[in-house]
Amino acid sequence: MHRERNAKVVATLGPASSSAQVIRALVEAGADLFRFNFSHGSHADHRARFDIVRAVEKEVGRPLGVLMDLQGPKLRVGTFAEGVVTLESGAHFRLDLDATPGDATRAPLLHPEIFAALRPGAALLIDDGRVHLEVVDCGADFAETRVVNGGEVSNRKGVNVPSVVLPISPLTEKDRADLAFGLELGVDWVALSFVQRAKDMAELRSLVGNRAAILAKLEKPSAIEDLKAIVEHSDAIMVARGDLGVELPPERVPGIQKRIIQCCRDAGRPVIVATHMLDSMVHAPVPTRAEASDVATAVYDGADAVMLSAESASGEYPVEAVTMMDRIIREVEGDPYYRRMMEASQPQPQKTSADAVCAALREVTRVLGIAATVTYTSSGYTSLRAARERPETPILGLTPHLHVARRLTLAWGVYPLLSADIHGVSDMIEHAKYAAVCNGFARGGDRLAIVAGIPFARPGTTNLLHLAHIERGEVLC
């Protein structure tokens, strides 16, 4: 049960990790949450993996979260008569709504919403930014561009439009069908791609309701401009550095990553750092030193979780990649400098009873050498506010609701556990002792910090901090 680390590992499932044997091995190696990428695979594929995850969850006796990642809009150029063209830097190139196959002077771009938003001077990036076009003139059905950086362009390559907000919903018809399937399946988190503004998350919330928690993937420059509002409208955030690194100069991405993490910490929202973290492990059993440093930096910055994509979904070493991620996190969190970093970036508590109690909790765990913090929560709120404070103890998040326990697998330092309903303070203390001792977090002679809300089982009422002592020889298990 006890990972002996605080930051979590998110592993993407795919062809390399579809069997019960591999998925169980990923859990044993350190995976806390599984990502299902709906850009790939059929509903039947996802259902089969989902059923295996739930079976493994029962076997290992710990909640496992499932995150469905919606594909979002895919903007692409059309086809070319020769299949591929080479665009020379400095040349002129036209994009339009004519579906006729293109050549070295023009190509179809069958997305009228792009032309509706373009302005002269705007950038168009093709094939993950390998080809850079600058708009010289445009209208409702065309764009005349100058090739800034040339190169080969082949059929159906992706197009990024970094400098404008496109008048489109991030939810396509495919996404809506996938979302209905995922909610029926019982996913715990829904990640939305192509988020440009806070109202995109409001649209997703209106469809999801309380059936799952929602997560915004930040991969558009416009989302960074609306960062605080997007964080407030989301239950969690993902720093999706793949597209973000295409649409922004690479040198800006590290600073933006730190800004996003701090904004999430201020708001008490879990944040995942994702994309290319151990990319070389798709084909190699060990990462580069730069990749190890990249993962470590995210952990030092206070990220709740780090994520593997192709490494665990289609790579040759999925279990080794999770093991490596686990090792890096443990090494960072064992460094005294890590605790100093957490304290230096500690957000100010908000003027609420929950934050007052949890700020006191952080100081109590530091001064008294508490073995573990136990939070009682019916919605997850108390555990998340405790995690915001980054206490020096593990947080046992006790909840009577399995769906809440599964969502808390994403939160820093929280070890979610199912618990019976609590009916009084003495009952609360006994349950806390039992959970801490029987799951290996405490033993006789240790002290616990217990955080809860009275009346019990009422969301958002965190108002109690209690210190409990486990007597030596006290029989609990």
**Can you give the pLDDT at residue 240?**
93
**pLDDT bucket at 43, cuts 50 / 70 / 90:** very high
What is the model's pLDDT at position 242? 85
Instruction: Report residue 307 as tokens.
Output: 């994520």
**Does residue 20 have a pLDDT over 70?**
yes
**Residue 135, beta-bridge partner list:** 145
What radius of gyration, in Å, describes the C-alpha atoms of the chain? 24
Distance CA 224, CA 305 (A): 20
For residue 348, what are its two tokens? 């100010």
Position with higher pLDDT, 420 vs 76: 76
User: Which residue's structure tokens are 């076997």?
Assistant: 59
58 is catalytic: no
Residue the block writes with tokens 């994509």: 309
The pLDDT > 70 percentage for the chain reads 99
How much is the pLDDT for 15?
97
pLDDT of 1 above 70: no
| C-alpha–C-alpha distance, residues 304 and 277, integer Å | 15
- Using CA atoms, how far apart are residues 415 and 2, in angstroms rounded to an integer? 8
- Distance, in Å, from the CA atom of 49 to the CA atom of 54, rounded to the nearest integer, reads 9
326-363 confidence digits (pLDDT tens): 999 999 999 999 999 999 999 999 999 999 999 999 99
Catalytic residue among 35, 49, 385, 388: 35
Q: Residue 271: count other Cβ atoms within 10 Å of its Cβ.
A: 28
pLDDT at residue 193 tops 90: yes
Cα–Cα distance measured from residue 468 to residue 158, given in angstroms and rounded to the nearest whole number: 58
What's the pLDDT tens digit per position in 252-275? 999 999 999 999 999 999 999 999
Name the least confident of 69-78, 152-161, 191-200, 461-470.
461-470
The pLDDT assigned to 424 comes to 85
Q: What gap in Å lies between CA 23 and CA 17, rounded to an integer?
A: 6
Distance between CA atoms of residues 337 and 325, nearest Å: 19
* Widest pairwise Cα distance in the chain: 83
What are 94's strand-pairing partners? 106, 144
Return the higher-pLDDT residue of 235 and 471.
Answer: 235
Q: Hey, what amino acid is at 61?
A: G
pLDDT in tens, 236-252: 999 999 888 898 988 99
Of 129-143, 146-160, 304-318, 421-435, which range is least confident?
A: 421-435
**Secondary structure letter of residue 424 according to DSSP:** S
C-alpha dist (Å) from residue 321 to 62, 277, 324, 335:
21, 10, 5, 22
Mean pLDDT for 133-149 is: 97
Catalytic residue among 8, 217, 385, 406: 217
List of residues 6+ apart from 408 with CB closer than 8 A: 63, 65, 380, 383, 384, 397, 399, 414, 416
Taking the C-alpha atoms of residue 391 and residue 173, their distance in angstroms, rounded to an integer, is 43
Model confidence at 303, in pLDDT bands (50, 70, 90)? very high
User: Which one of 275, 365, 393, 461 is the catalytic residue?
Assistant: 275
Q: What is the 3-state secondary structure (H, E, C) of 250-315?
A: HHHHHHHHHHHHHHHHHHCCCEEEECCCCHHHHCCCCCCHHHHHHHHHHHHCCCCEEEECHHHHCC
From 329, 269, 322, select the one nearest 299 (Cα to Cα). Answer: 329
Residue 196 banded pLDDT, cuts 50, 70, 90: very high
Give me the catalytic one of 47, 54, 74, 76. 76
The closest alpha carbon to 111, from 93, 131, 91, 97, belongs to 97
The confidence score (pLDDT) of residue 61 equals: 93
Inter-residue contact 441 to 364 (CB < 8 Å): no
Mean pLDDT in residue range 403-424: 94
Mean pLDDT within 449-456: 88
Coil, strand or helix at 144: strand
Q: How many CA atoms lie within 13 A of 191 on its CB side?
A: 29
Does 62 qualify as catalytic in the annotation?
Answer: no
pLDDT tens profile 115-135 = 999 999 999 999 999 999 999
Q: How confident is the model at residue 325 (pLDDT cuts 50, 70, 90)?
A: very high
Region of 347 please: left (phi>0), alpha (psi -120 to 50) or beta: beta
Q: Is 76 in the active site?
A: yes
Residue whose C-alpha is closest to residue 464's, from 442, 449, 445, 443 = 449
Q: Domains of the chain (ranges plus CATH)? A: 8-72+170-335 (3.20.20.60), 84-160 (2.40.33.10), 353-469 (3.40.1380.20)
CA separation, residue 447 to residues 180, 424, 475 (Å): 46, 20, 15
Confidence of residue 164 (pLDDT cuts 50, 70, 90): confident
Has 130 been annotated as catalytic?
no
Confidence band for 459, pLDDT divided at 50, 70 and 90? confident
Higher pLDDT, 46 or 249: 46
Residue 421 pLDDT greater than 90, yes or no: no
CA distance 151 to 170: 29
* Residue percentage of the chain with pLDDT more than 90: 90
Distance CA(98)–CA(110), nearest Å, equals 8
* Side-chain half-sphere exposure of 89, counting CA atoms within 13 A: 5
Residue 471 CB-density burial (10 A; 0-12 exposed, 13-18 middle, 19+ buried): exposed
Q: Mean pLDDT over all residues of the chain?
A: 95
pLDDT value at 322 more than 90: yes
| Positive or negative: CA dihedral 250, 278, 310, 79 | positive
